[in-house]
Amino acid sequence: MTDELVFETYIKASAEQVWEAITTSEFRRQYFFGSTVDADWRPGGRLVSHSPDGELWADNEIYECDPPRLLSHGWRSLYDPELAAEPESRITWTIEPQDGDYVKLTVVHDRLAAAPKTAEHIRGWSFILSGLKSVLETGSGLT
């Protein structure tokens, strides 16, 4: 069992565009299974996510917030009782501008040793990040 999953992708967009796609419902709905996001974007604030029909999917603490460079927050999925019973893991989004109008987006999902069911959902991150890249580069998401 791994305690950490790391995903990297390069996106033809500015750091500000990637930040907006991560932090606004307008973009998030297009690549994150139709979910919305509402947050108090500061350390100690809450990041709340709902399904397309309004079901509470997540309510997690924000650990670090440095727009448009870094966002770190808790992760506990509330839509499934087995996932909701696990302790909160952590997601860290790091956005690094690159030469040629690209950014390198690194997503680290860690603190997974005590959350094995959450760790099994690795395919979800691949889908989400592919969708995020598609939305920003083509204007069309996967969901």
Q: Return the amino acid letter for 114.
A: A
Integer Cα distance of 127 and 143 in angstroms = 9
64 contact partners, CB below 8 Å, separation of at least 6: 43, 70, 71, 72, 92
Peptide bond into 68 cis (omega under 30): yes
> What residue segments make up the domains of the chain, in order of their start?
4-138
Which of 11, 52, 20 shows the shortest CA–CA distance to 33? 52
Residue 122: the pLDDT is 73
> May I ask the CATH architecture of the domain 4-138?
2-Layer Sandwich (3.30)
Residue 140: the pLDDT is 76
53 contact partners, CB below 8 Å, separation of at least 6: none
Whether 143 and 33 have beta carbons less than 8 Å apart is answered as: yes
Please give the DSSP secondary-structure letter assigned to residue 71. E
Mean of the per-residue pLDDT values of the chain: 94
This model's pTM is above 0.85: yes
User: Which pLDDT tens digit goes with each residue over 25-41?
Assistant: 999 999 999 999 999 99
The secondary element (H helix, E strand) that includes residue 50 is: strand 46-50
Task: With cut-offs at 50, 70 and 90, classify the pLDDT of residue 88.
Answer: very high
